[in-house]
Chains A and B, each alone.
Chain A
Amino acid sequence: MASKRKIATCSLAGCFGCHMSLLDIDERLLDLLELAEFDRSPINDIKEIKGMVDIGLVEGGLCNAETVRVLHHFRDHCRVLVSVGECALTGGIPSMRNHHSLKACLEESYIRGVGVENAHIPDDPELPLLLDKVYPLHEVVTVDYHVPGCPPSADALWHVLSALVAGRDPHLPPALLKYD
C-alpha cells in the first residue's frame, strides 16, 4: 500500500468554523481517509506532531503566547503550511480588538461588565500571556498557501486538499474564491 499523506490541523484564535467547514465535505470525508491520515487534529487524540507531516492546516490568528508556540511547531513540522480562513489570513474578527488597548478590553469584561461580582482581571499563572494585538500567521512564519473565506466553503477546502494530497499546486477557480 502506498503510504498515505499525513495531514495535521489546529485552531488558534479562530471560532472553529473553518474546521466545521472541513467537516462539511460530508461523505467525502470517507474518500479523504482513503488517501490521507490525520496526525495532530481535533478529530483524534494526538496532541503534538511527532516527526514530519505533509500538510498543515491552521485556522485562526495569534492572540497569546501559546498560539505562537503552536504555530512555530506547525511550521517546523509541516512540509506545506496552509493558512485557512480570514482569521489566519488577516486576524479576522478577533483582531478588531487591535483598535483598543488590551487593558481596556480586559477591564470591560471583568471590571465594568454588567452584573460582575468580585471584579478583577484574572491573572493566575495558569493563564498564558496575551499578545498586545491579534496577528495573522504570515507575520510570524512563512505560509505556503492562503485559503480565504469566513469560512472557506467545503468545496474550496476539498479542492485545495485534493490537489495537495495528489502533490499538485492548488489553484482555486474564481467560483470558489470567496471572502465572505
Chain B
Amino acid sequence: MTHVLETAAHPRALRRVAIEPLTRVEGHGKVTILLDEQHRVHQARLHIVEFRGFEKFIQGRPYWEVPVLVQRLCGICPVSHHLAAGKAVDMLVGARQLTPSAEKLRRLLHKGQLLQSHALHFFHLASPDLLFGFEAEPERRNIIGVIGEHPELAVRGVKLRKFGQEVIRAVAGKRIHGTACVPGGMNKPLAAADRDALRGEVAQIVRWSQEAVRTCRDLLDASPHAPIFGVFPSNFLSLIRPDGALDFYDGGLRARSASGELIFDHVDYTHYNRFIHEEVKSWSYMKFPFIINLGDEDGWYRVGPLARLNNCDALDTVFAEHERQLFRQAANGGMQHATLAYHWARMIEMLHAAEGIERLLDDPEILGTDLVTRGERAFEGVGVIEAPRGTLFHHYRVDENDVVVRANLIVSTTNNNQAMNEAVRQVAASYLDGQQLTEGLLNHIEVAVRAFDPCLSCATHALGRMPLRVELVDADGVVVDRLVKGSDGRCTRDDAV
C-alpha cells in the first residue's frame, strides 16, 4: 500500500519537490514530495493551504441567512451548498417533508447543477489529457487547444454547461449565487415560459449526454493508462434511496468496503457524527474524515461519481441505467477502483441528470405554487446531499434567538482528502520514483488529482490547468533544480539555478 509514503522517517535528509500552487476553492493546494539522492520517493503529500474560518464567522448570524451565505464558499457548485444548508434549515422550522412542488423544484435545481459541473469538468478540464495524452505538449493540452482541434466537442461542452446554468437561472434567478431555498421550501415558482424554453432544448441535451458517455468511454479505452493509473482499493460512501437506487438529493448513508461488502446502510444522515469523525493533520488545513469503527488508518473512503456508481443498485432513468450496467460489468460486477473511471462515472451521471431534468420538466407539478411548509421548531439541523464531487454535510445549531451558535461542514472534497493523497502517492511511486523530473511526469500528478474534480483546485482545475512550478531543494534549502511552465505553457528547466 502506498499509505507508507505519507510521512518519511528522516525528512531532513531528503530533497523537497514542491508542486505549487494547485490552487483552490476551499483553499490553495500544493503537492510536496521528498526524495533521496537516488530520486526514490519517501514522502508525498497534498496540502490544502488556505483557511476561511467559516465555522466561526457564521456564528451570530440568523439561520435564514445561511443558505445564501454559505454558497459563497464555492462558485463552482454554489447550488450544492445552498441545498445542503437549505435542508438543514428546513429541519429548524420542522419541515421534514416539503410540498411536492418545492421538492421537485429543488431536485430540478440540483440536476441543473450536476449537469453544468460535470460538463465543465469533463470537457473544459479533463478532456485535453484524454484527447491529446498525458505527455502532449502543454500548449495543446488545454481547453483552447480543444477549441482549435476539436471545435465541435468544445462547443458541445460549452452548450451542455450553458443548459445546466440556464436550469439554475430559471429556478434560482441567477446562474451563480441565486436564491431559491427558504426555510421550509422555495421562494418562487418556476415560470411557465422558462419551463417551455428548457423543454424545447432538453431532448438535444439528453442526446449529447449519451454521446458524451460514449466519447469518454472510447477515450479511456484508447488510453494505455486507464487500467493501471492510480488504481487502489478504498471504501466508498454515498447517499442511497430506500430502494437502493442512487439519489443525489436525499436518502440514507451507505458505505461499502473495497470488496463491495456493506459497512453500513440506510443510515439516517442526521446521525453522521456517530459514523464519521475527522482527523486533523498538522500539514493541511483540510481535515481527514474516516469511518469511526474502522479507525483512521483503514476507515477513509472515496466519494463522488465513482463511489456513487459503485455503491448504488440502480439508476432510475433508462439510458443512464443501461450505461451503469456496462460500467459495473467492466469491473466484473465488483468495485471499480481506477482513478480514471471517475470520468466515466461522471459522464453517466451527467446523462442521468439530463434525463431527470427532462422528466421533471414534463411533470405538471413543477409549475406548482404551494411551496412552503412549516412544522415544529427545532434547534439543530443537518442537511446532506450528493454534490457533484460527492457527499456534502452541513450541520447547524441555533439558539432561541434564531442565531447560529455552532456549525460543522464536511465538504465533498474533504471527504476525498485521504483518497487524493493516496492517488498522489500511488502516481508518485509508480511514475516518479527513481526518475528525473519532466513536464509530462508533473502532469501525471495533476491528472490524478484532477480526476477527483476536487474543489481545492476548482480554481484552476475547473477551468482547466493547474499552473505548476516544481522545485528540488536540497537539505540546506538550496534550490538545485527548477521546472517552470513558461508563458507559452511549455515546461522548461530553469538554468539559472
Contacts and interface: CB of A to CB of B under 8 A. Distances in A.
Interface stretch (A39-47, A135-143, A161-169): A39-47
Contacts of B458: 16
A114 B280 CA distance: 12
Nearest to A21: B176
A30 to B, nearest CB: 7
A16 B416 CA distance: 20
Given A16-B459, A114-B273, A126-B49, A45 B138 contact: yes
Contacts of A158: none
23 contacts: A11-B24, A20-B175, A23-B124, A27-B162, A39-B487, A42-B462, A43-B464, A44-B467, A44-B489, A45-B491, A47-B484, A96-B58, A105-B57, A108-B53, A115-B408, A120-B280, A122-B284, A122-B285, A124-B283, A126-B45, A126-B49, A127-B284, A151-B75
Nearest to A23: B463
Given A11-B24, A45-B142, A50-B487, A123 B282 contact: yes
Given A105-B53, A116-B279, 17 more contacts: A16-B75, A17-B75, A17-B76, A23-B120, A24-B162, A33-B147, A42-B462, A47-B21, A47-B469, A50-B487, A64-B49, A97-B52, A97-B57, A100-B57, A108-B53, A116-B280, A122-B281
Interface in A103-134: 104-106, 108-110, 113-124, 126-128, 130
Contacts of A144: none
Most chain B beta-carbon contacts within 10 A, residue among A40, A47, A63: A47
A113 B278 contact: yes
A96 B57 contact: yes
A117 B74 CA distance: 26
Contacts of A97: 52-54, 56-57
Interface string B49-93: 111111111111000000001001111101000000000000000
A11 B460 CA distance: 9
Interface string A73-107: 00000000000000000001110110110101110
A66 B28 contact: yes
A88 to B, nearest CB: 13
Contact of A27 (B25, B144, B158, B406): B158
A117 B280 contact: yes
A119 B279 CA distance: 7
Given A11-B459, A124-B283, A150-B72, A64 B50 contact: yes
A119 to B, nearest CB: 6
B108 interface: no
A26 B162 contact: yes
Contact of B175 (A63, A126, A154): A154
Contacts of A33: 144, 147
B486 interface: yes
B9 interface: no
Interface in A1-59: 11, 13-21, 23-24, 26-27, 29-30, 33, 38-51
Interface string B358-380: 00000000000000000000000
A104 B281 CA distance: 19
B65 to A, nearest CB: 11
B308 interface: no
Contact of B21 (A44, A45, A66): A66
Most chain B beta-carbon contacts within 10 A, residue among A26, A27, A122: A122
B277 A27 contact: no
B69 A93 contact: yes
Nearest to A115: B277
Most chain A beta-carbon contacts within 10 A, residue among B32, B59, B285, B468: B285
B31 to A, nearest CB: 10
B461 interface: yes
Contacts of B45: 126
Nearest to A85: B75
Contacts of A50: 486-487
Given A23-B463, A43-B464, A51-B487, A122 B283 contact: yes
B245 interface: no
